[in-house]
Amino acid sequence: MRVLLTGATGFIGQHLHRALLAEGHEVVACSRRRPDLPCLDFFPCDFAHDLSHEVWLSRLSGVDAVINAVGIIREGSGQRFNALHTLAPKALFGACAQKGITRVIQISALGADEQAETAYHLSKREADDFLAKQPLDWLILRPSLVYGPGSTSSELFAGLAALPLTPLIGDGQQPVQPIHIDDLVKAVLTALTSKSPSRQRIDCVGPRALSFQYWLNGWRKWLGKATAPSMRVPFSLAQSGVRVCAPFSRLPVDAESLQMLQRGNTAPVEPFTRAFGITPQSFEHSIQQTPASPAERQQAGLFFLWPLLRLSLAFMWIWTGLTSALWYPVDESYQMLGAVGLSGVALPFALYTAALLDTLLGLALLLNYRLRLVLLTQVAMVLGYSLILTFCLPEFWLHPFGPISKNLPLIAASLMLYVREGDAQ
């Protein structure tokens, strides 16, 4: 079949793309960037803006089936639940009805039902309800936590499990029923066949419910670590903490995520098994069959150190800027600037301009604003400062506090974050 796949570069989308090609289907990919995997055609699309039927009609020419795998777990800059989960999918589904597409599969979320409370679940449910009213051969799949290679949430859980203390929300007994990405992909491939169910909403879950504590301990076992002591965090304190940290973090967790965890994320597995003839693999089986590689263990250990590195660099730049402008004796600053050849009105201009730049760069790092550009700018500024001091104040190389030599690890740290940011895009 010729399948239009939205969200082709996301976690679920990439796995679906690979499996569709393996089954001999032709993939028309829709995503913000071109996928690495081959495709029959590619349409650059952005669900934040592609909100009208007309945008989608030309993309649907010659298409036999549509799979919508677009989704975000938390809102960010330019990405809102209402647009990505509701308005753009409704425009796509409306265009499918106008074009008479044979099959439409919507990847929704477990919890997008009558009891939905969070903006995430409500936005998914609105699109599901709209699709259910269309004269289409539709199927809505509502997966629980989906884990497997390439999953951002799996990286988060492995990072939590790698900590010396296992953090729990309350007593850690919140029920989850995770499904492996391979089982979800098998269900979608089956859904493309004539033997699959139609015009149904099917919850996609693992074989049994697990407690959140058991889930994290399982990730720790996957990393080859012994069970660690737990640290219980009251739910209200955890919610307050993520609200405070949200503007400075891009971790796939926020106050709504904790609310969804607290509600529980489970469903009977039998409807899924009957619909697709699949017995989903257990979490224990999957981690036993594919133990963590050395690179995955290293990634888990570094998971929370990367943001710590970014925040420490942000603090350094902000503190340097504020200290230069407000607290360090101005006469001593002018004396150092004079040693590099500045005088007169150039002294305050250079001092306060540099202080302002330092502070702005630190704030940009803190708020995750255009990180790659900011990090390269920081590297250029540190190199510039170091070269100026080397030529004008070479004795600083012999200073016991290392005002120049300390710039070398700062440059290295900035370049590490630059590479890391590129890999995350």
Domain edges within the chain: 1-143, 307-424
CATH number of 1-143: 3.40.50.720
pLDDT at 421 over 90: no
pLDDT at 386: 94
- Cα separation, 320 vs 361, in Å, equals 11
Inform me whether the pLDDT recorded for 425 exceeds 70. Answer: no
pLDDT at 423 over 70: no
Closest CA to 363 of 290, 399, 314: 314
pLDDT band at 237; cut points 50, 70, 90 = very high
pLDDT for the residue numbered 311: 95
**Res. 280: pLDDT tops 90:** yes
Between 248 and 310, residue with greater pLDDT: 310
Q: What is the pLDDT of residue 373?
A: 95
Q: Distances in Å between the alpha carbon of 287 and those of 49, 102, 179, 221, 346?
A: 39, 38, 12, 8, 63
What's the pLDDT tens digit per position in 255-279?
Answer: 899 999 998 889 999 999 999 999 9
The pLDDT mean for the chain works out to 94
Query: Percent of the chain having pLDDT more than 90?
Result: 90
- Give the integer Cα–Cα distance in Å for 217 and 111: 24
Record the pTM: 0.91
Provide mean pLDDT across the span 191-197: 83
